[in-house]
Amino acid sequence: MWQLISGVFLGWSLGANDASNVFGTAVASRMVKFWTAAFLCAAFVLLGAMLEGAAGMLTYSKLSNYGVNFAFIISLTAGLTVMFMTILGLPVSTSQAVVGSMLGVGMLYGNVQWGGLTKVVLCWIGTPIGAMLAAIIIYQIIGHILNFLDLSLFTYDRVLRMSLMAAGSYGAYALGANNVANVTGPFVASGQISAQMGALIGALSIGLGVITFSRSVMMTVGEGIVKLSAFTALVVVLAEAVTVHIYAMVGVPVSTSQAVVGAVLGVGFLKGSKTINVGTLGKIMVGWLFTPVMSFGLAYGVSWTLITLTILSK
């Protein structure tokens, strides 16, 4: 069971980098306090993981078959990759880090299921695009509703604040349902723990990461790409939540970071492309490209070294 330590570490890294994205825009727009957002996020991640987290576990089990020691290496190297990106303040895809590590081990081990991988990669591409389209649609719908209601300034502010908290909680639920498989999926696939136990351990470690180390990435997403008002922050959170929840129901773990950035870009295009911080966006894109490459290299190198030293057996 000691190998699960790396799963907890990966969950903490995911919480610090990915989970905060569901409330990042609300905190950056100063409509929700950071600690309120962090504790709501941790609670609803747990709820989503326990109720709908098992489907993603099955997807990972179809990518490769390996023992618990290799599951340890996958979680450790993916966690190190995400932690490195978090230190840089970049929102990256934990799903990409995990799959990159799985491929590193799987190729060395000679057991990669390319059909399952194709499905996951296609969903990676679809995530930011889908969130961008969702943001454009939701922007129009909510805008028309608020214009129709013709609220006073005080009531408008209060409605948006409560809506942001509700939308963020839904986003956290969707995150737990979708991304808990990133944390403990390899251990469930190896047969060491059940899917339900994996969901519990993964959700608790994600929540710990949100509470302890999520602020810097939260502000990068909330302020670094496009300056968001309370209204556009609500649009981004809802678009991200709907997108990630759909993939959770399909059973494919995807990145909340990619969904949030796609949604923010959708808002940015509606407000005018000049509002988009191209420099910050470029750094995030580089992080997305580098994440699976780094985790692949780490996993392959660590596995090869341990096999060479006969610590692990192929």
- pLDDT tens profile 58-110: 776 666 566 788 889 989 999 999 999 888 877 788 888 988 998 898 888 77
Output the average pLDDT for the chain: 85
pLDDT (tens digit per residue) in 158-177: 999 999 999 999 999 999 99
SS (H, E, C) the chain: CCCHHHHHHHHHHHHHHHHCHHHHHHHHCCCCCHHHHHHHHHHHHHHHHHHHCHHHHHHHHCCCCCCHHHHHHHHHHHHHHHHHHHHCCCCCCHHHHHHHHHHHHHHHHCCCCHHHHHHHHHHHHHHHHHHHHHHHHHHHHHHHHHHHHCCCHHHHHHHHHHHHHHHHHHHHHHHHHHHHHHHHHHHHHCCCCCHHHHHHHHHHHHHHHHHHHCHHHHHHHHHCCCCCCHHHHHHHHHHHHHHHHHHHHHCCCCCHHHHHHHHHHHHHHHHCHHHCCHHHHHHHHHHHHHHHHHHHHHHHHHHHHHHHCCCCCC
> Comparing 72 with 2, which gets the higher pLDDT?
72
Residue 81 is predicted with a pLDDT of 94
Q: What is the mean pLDDT of residues 274-303?
A: 84
- Give the confidence band of 271 by pLDDT, cuts at 50, 70, 90: confident
pLDDT tier for residue 275 given thresholds of 50, 70 and 90 = low
pLDDT of 54 reads 83
pLDDT in tens, 26-36: 887 788 888 89
pLDDT tens per residue, range 222-234: 556 566 788 988 9
Q: What is the pLDDT of residue 34?
A: 85
Say what the pLDDT of residue 222 is: 56
Reading the block at residue 220, the tokens are 């990068």
Q: Give which of 311, 302, 247, 309 is closest to 105, Cα–Cα.
A: 302
pLDDT of 57: 79
| Confidence check: pLDDT of 53 > 80 | yes
Domain boundaries, the chain: 4-308
**Residue pLDDT, tens place only, 172-201:** 999 999 989 888 887 887 788 888 899 999
Task: Specify the pTM.
Answer: 0.84
pLDDT tens digits, residue range 122-163?
Answer: 888 899 999 999 999 999 999 999 999 989 989 999 999 999
